[in-house]
Amino acid sequence: MKVRRIVANIETADPAAVARFYEEVLGLTSLMDHGWIATYGSEGTMPLQVSFASEGGSGTPVPGLSIEVDDVEAVHAAAVKGGYPVEYGPADEPWGVRRFFVRDPAGTLVNILMHTR
């Protein structure tokens, strides 16, 4: 048996508003849309991971999602431009990532990060 995919499902009364966040800030594209559920992603293969945490690191709350990007500054600029609330960072962490936390329109705390080493 092999897990082929893990998908985070975020409950929201306004899927379109949340979709705009993931399209505008992270550049994801629509993979499926049934009206009541929409799935966004990107081309190519991404590693599958699931984490379990008692805190978010550096004394932060545990984020609902962690998304690795190749340019955290560009994503941060897009989040700020879009008016999405940045709640932490950007910060260089001792474990080798630069990251920030932002809330999507559904209220989910999202950890946006890139590895620095």
Encode pLDDT of 55-88 as tens digits. Answer: 999 999 999 999 999 999 999 999 999 999 999 9
Residue ranges of domains in the chain, CATH in brackets: 15-115 (3.10.180.10)
Interatomic CA distance for residues 45 and 106, integer angstroms: 26
Q: Are the C-beta atoms of residues 67 and 113 closer than 8 Å to each other?
A: yes
CA distances, 58 to each of 11, 49, 66, 81, 85 (Å)? 27, 21, 15, 26, 19
Q: What mean pLDDT is reported for the chain? A: 91
Predicted TM-score (pTM) of the model is 0.88
Asked if 109 and 101 count as a contact pair (C-beta separation under 8 A), the reply is yes
pLDDT at 64: 94
**pLDDT score of 5 more than 90:** no
